[in-house]
Amino acid sequence: MADPTGFLSTPRQTAPRRPVDVRISDWREVHGRMRRGDLERQAGRCMDCGIPFCHGGCPLGNLIPEWNDLTWRRHWRDAAARLHATNNFPEFTGLLCPAPCESACVLGINADPVAIKQVEIEIVDRAWAEGWVTSQPPSAAARAAGRPAAVVGSGPAGLAAAQQLTRAGHAVTVFERDDQPGGLLRYGIPAFKMEKWRLDRRLGQMRAEGTEIRCGVHAGVDVSAADLRAGYRAIVLAGGARVPRGLPVPGAGLAGIHQAMEYLPLANRAAAGGSAAAGGTGVVGEPPVSARGRHVVIIGGGDTGADCLGTALRQGAASVTQLEIMPRPPRARPDGQPWPTYPMIYRVSSAHEEGGERVYAVSTQEFLADESGRVRALRLADVDLAGGRITVRADTERELACDLVLLAMGFTGAEDSALLAGLGVSLTDRGAVRRDDRFAAEVPGVFVAGDMGRGQSLIVWAIAEGRSAAAAADRYLAGETALPAAIGASAGPLRLGGR
């Protein structure tokens, strides 16, 4: 056990965020770092419970009490090894995960939970700084027994699957249609949440281990399903769930209205500015869709909307309003979402600290155009939620002036592509690629991981899926596997009454 009385004597502490006026003038990460001694004391708050619910809260089954204890004892290198035992990319989750583990922490029942995510990022940052993270290429014998395997998509699911399969000895090629690998880590999530050099550093590790990553290759278009079948003994599909949810109201086609995933990639490319030396965070050029000087309305109150908000503020928006159709959630856990579930509560992301206004329980009725055909306002109305139904409240309609609208209402599923048809796999009613609980698609040798099989989700689930799909693919290729499977494909978040 870590410090036996740490949870009594040490209050929870996380890294400070950089001052708002400084951070909105650049694209660098918002979070600062903690002093080593302070972090060790935070790890010492862990009680090493008999039943560590944090394990169940984390889709990766991260060995949280073990690395807390090792960190508190200053065995940082061992802590890094235990962290990597269950997670290929702890710096992605340590910065970006919403930390369902902390909602399940036993200390959180009557006090502030252990700062698990903070400990995670500090361990992996130190591991890189000390040179403890090295490439782990397979042995010559494993390589000789390996088979060619293809991974389609280089988001966190595809990268995790590729790294696991490469380490098991297979000759892995990742096909990515974008010009650079990373999926939403590269072009969806802004650098102020995670700078891109962290991604490039992992890609370097993967290439050194032998994974081939081919960008600018659209599977199903540039390379046919038949060619993939002929060239590779197993295929892991990890193409994400990128079909955006639309807003079918009058005026939705006006100029100045964009999907979040049109706007954010352009902003990310502009922020990267092609400057590797700047770690992809020097601002070069104005993106073709910019918030500079504009009155911006973001429709959708979730994390993607928050990413649009932080991006618009950095681009110099005149104002930003974020609209959400649901009522404002409570600040504390509602009765129906007790420990150890992940509750829907009012959260303030770093972007929300920086500016903008959040408006809840409103619905957009129509977009209005100026004389040039560009959006000049939207008409919205208050709504009531009763018995699961949303109804517009009479006499509450009003106009909200805006000249840039960003739609951030989520995604309906995977793209129904030539690749899927060519492979002979299909989509479910929910827009996910059909698979069984061991990640196998409808045809032998094809596996499905990440948002493409689960629907819009989180990085931690994508990594867990990639690891587990790799284990299934390895068993298919080699007849057995030593790769760990974090989850079954139907696993979900902790719920009352079990998974």
Ligand X SMILES: Cc1cc2nc3c(=O)[nH]c(=O)nc-3n(C[C@H](O)[C@H](O)[C@H](O)COP(=O)(O)OP(=O)(O)OC[C@H]3O[C@@H](n4cnc5c(N)ncnc54)[C@H](O)[C@@H]3O)c2cc1C
- Residues forming contacts to ligand SF4 in the complex (CB under 6 A) are 57-58, 60, 62, 64, 93, 97, 99-101, 116-117, 120, 460
298-327 footprint of ligand X as x/- string (CB under 6 A): -----xx--x--------------------
Residue 307 contact, options ligand SF4, ligand X, none, Cβ 5-8 Å cut-off depending on partner type: ligand X
413 binds ligand X (CB under 6 A): no
90 binds ligand X (CB under 6 A): no
Q: Dihedral of CA 474/478/479/484: which sign?
A: negative
Nearer to ligand SF4, 120 or 176 (CB): 120
Residue 363 · residue 325 · CB < 8 Å: yes
d(CA 262, CA 39): 39
The least CB distance from residue 370 to ligand SF4, in Å, is 45
**DSSP code at position 470:** H
User: Which region, left, alpha or beta, applies to residue 204 given φ > 0 means left and ψ of -120 to 50 means alpha?
Assistant: alpha
Nearer to ligand SF4, 101 or 469 (CB): 101
Tell me if residue 298 falls in helix, strand or coil: strand
Choose, by CB under 6 A, the member of 189, 312, 361, 406 that binds ligand X: 189
Residue 30 · residue 193 · CB < 8 Å: yes
Residue 96 contact, options ligand X, ligand SF4, none, Cβ 5-8 Å cut-off depending on partner type: ligand X
b/e sequence 391-407, b meaning 16+ C-beta within 10 Å: eeeeeeeeebebbbbbb
406 binds ligand X (CB under 6 A): no
The least CB distance from residue 186 to ligand X, in Å, is 7
> Taking contact as CB under 6 A, which single stretch among the options 238-246, 288-296, 386-394, 483-491 is the one that binds ligand X?
238-246
Choose, by CB under 6 A, the member of 151, 458, 473, 485 that binds ligand X: 458
Nearer to ligand X, 180 or 290 (CB): 180
Residues 6 or more apart in contact with residue 328 via CB below 8 angstroms: 346, 358, 360, 361
Residues 6 or more apart in contact with residue 188 via CB below 8 angstroms: 261, 264, 265, 268, 304, 307
> What is the 3-class SS of 105-165, one letter each residue?
CHHHHCCCCCCHHHHHHHHHHHHHHHCCCCCCCCCHHHHHHCCEEEEECCCHHHHHHHHHH
The least CB distance from residue 343 to ligand SF4, in Å, is 15
Q: At what angle do helices 36-43 and 64-72 cross, to 10 degrees?
A: 130
The least CB distance from residue 488 to ligand SF4, in Å, is 17
Residues 116-155 binding ligand X (CB under 6 A) are 152-155
Residues 262-291 binding ligand X (CB under 6 A) are 264
d(CA 307, CA 188): 9
Nearer to ligand X, 15 or 478 (CB): 15
**DSSP code at position 312:** H
The least CB distance from residue 439 to ligand SF4, in Å, is 20
The least CB distance from residue 28 to ligand X, in Å, is 16
The least CB distance from residue 342 to ligand SF4, in Å, is 9
Token duo for residue 414: 């995977």
The least CB distance from residue 96 to ligand SF4, in Å, is 9
| Residue 302 identity (one-letter amino acid) | G
176 binds ligand X (CB under 6 A): yes
Residue 60 contact, options ligand X, ligand SF4, none, Cβ 5-8 Å cut-off depending on partner type: ligand SF4
d(CA 499, CA 487): 11
Residue 493 · residue 342 · CB < 8 Å: yes
Token duo for residue 38: 């302070």
> Taking contact as CB under 6 A, which single stretch among the options 106-114, 125-133, 445-453, 473-481 is the one that binds ligand X?
445-453
d(CA 170, CA 471): 12
CA trace torsion 300, 332, 100, 407 (10° rounding): 0
Residue 458 contact, options ligand SF4, ligand X, none, Cβ 5-8 Å cut-off depending on partner type: ligand X
The least CB distance from residue 262 to ligand X, in Å, is 11
Residue 117 contact, options ligand X, ligand SF4, none, Cβ 5-8 Å cut-off depending on partner type: ligand SF4
Residue 154 contact, options ligand SF4, ligand X, none, Cβ 5-8 Å cut-off depending on partner type: ligand X
CA trace torsion 485, 145, 176, 463 (10° rounding): 10
Residue 219 contact, options ligand SF4, ligand X, none, Cβ 5-8 Å cut-off depending on partner type: ligand X
Question: Total number of residues binding ligand X (CB under 6 A)?
Answer: 39
d(CA 190, CA 258): 17
130: closest CA among 79, 87, 67? Answer: 79
The least CB distance from residue 281 to ligand X, in Å, is 17
Choose, by CB under 6 A, the member of 6, 65, 220, 301 that binds ligand X: 220
175 binds ligand X (CB under 6 A): yes
Nearer to ligand SF4, 93 or 259 (CB): 93
180 binds ligand X (CB under 6 A): no
φ, ψ (nearest 5 deg) of residue 132? -80, -20
Binding residues for ligand X, per CB under 6 A?
A: 96-97, 152-158, 175-178, 183-184, 188-189, 193, 218-220, 238-240, 261, 264, 303-304, 307, 417, 419, 450-452, 457-460, 462
